[in-house]
Chains A and B, each alone.
Chain A
Amino acid sequence: EAQVTQNPRYLITVTGKKLTVTCSQNMNHEYMSWYRQDPGLGLRQIYYSMNVEVTDKGDVPEGYKVSRKEKRNFPLILESPSPNQTSLYFCASSFGASYGYTFGSGTRLTVV
């Protein structure tokens, strides 16, 4: 089944404790992206990647890092999480920036 898989689905952590949210797709998509979704603000793009080793900032990149060492994987790294990063995170992939995304099921992150 064609899908984007994110892990974990739920995560509660403490301020400053480094964490990684994994994202993997099995559709050979070149384009991958991370979003956060907050009430009243909608989906906001954090980082995107056009291909292996090619990444760029979206609208809200502060406090996040990404890497794209393999085509299928695009992990999101929070080096020192803070409470304002509490949010619902989605990974998405597509054949290119002008194509519709396939989204993962989301990761609900709480930073206390």
Chain B
Amino acid sequence: EDQVTQSPEALRLQEGESSSLNCSYTVSGLRGLFWYRQDPGKGPEFLFTLYSAGEEKEKERLKATLTKKESFLHITAPKPEDSATYLCAGTSGNQFYFGTGTSLTVIP
């Protein structure tokens, strides 16, 4: 069964305290692994797509990496405005499988 699992469910960090979010997947013939950010009451906002193992992408304090079994979203020196729920999703073609997200809180 194709699925995506995220951990931890929730994470509290002090401002400046770097950490990583995990996304493990069992999606047959993965054609893309996506990361999104979702703020309360809003639709998810696209961050990154990773297509093959070993690929890395960066945006400001965020860096996403991909292996054959999992993806990591590394957050370096986070700020309070990075507080949000981070979602990952995999696709094998036309169907998408989302994880349940990691709720990140960054404390000033």
A binds B: yes
Counting CB contacts under 8 A, is B31 at the interface? yes
CA distance A104 to B44 in the complex (A): 8
Q: Write out, one digit per residue, whether chain B residues 68-103 have a CB within 8 A of any chain A CB (1) or not (0).
A: 000000000000000000010101011111111100
B101 in contact with A42 (CB, 8 Å): yes
Q: How far is the CA of A58 from the CA of B100 in the complex (A)?
A: 17
Given the complex of chains A and B, what is the CA–CA distance between A42 and B32 in angstroms? 19
Interface contact A45-B95, CB-CB below 8 Å: yes
Q: Is A84 an interface residue (CB 8 A)?
A: no
Number of interface residues of A (CB under 8 A): 27
* B59 contacts chain A at the CB level, 8 A cutoff: no
B43 touches A106 (CB 8 A): yes
Decide: B96 and A42 in contact? CB cutoff 8 A: no
- Does B22 have its Cβ within 8 Å of any Cβ on chain A? no
Instruction: Considering the complex, give the chain A residue whose CB is closest to the CB of B47.
Output: A100
- Bound-state CA distance A33–B32 (Å) is 16
Most buried by A among B36, B42, B47, B94: B94
| Known pairs A43-B87, A106-B42; A100 contacts B34 (CB<8 A) | yes
Chain A residues 40 to 91 lying within 8 A of chain B, measured CB to CB, are 40-45, 48, 50, 56, 58-59, 90
Q: Is the CB–CB distance between B44 and A90 below 8 Å?
A: yes
Residue of B nearest to A99 (CB): B49
Please measure, in the bound complex, the distance between the C-alpha atom of A56 and the C-alpha atom of B95, giving whole angstroms.
9
Given contacts A44-B98, A45-B95, contact A100 B49 (CB under 8 A): yes
Q: A97-B91, A98-B91, A100-B36 are in contact. List 9 more A-B contacts (CB 8 A).
A: A4-B43, A33-B96, A35-B98, A42-B87, A42-B101, A59-B95, A97-B31, A98-B51, A103-B43
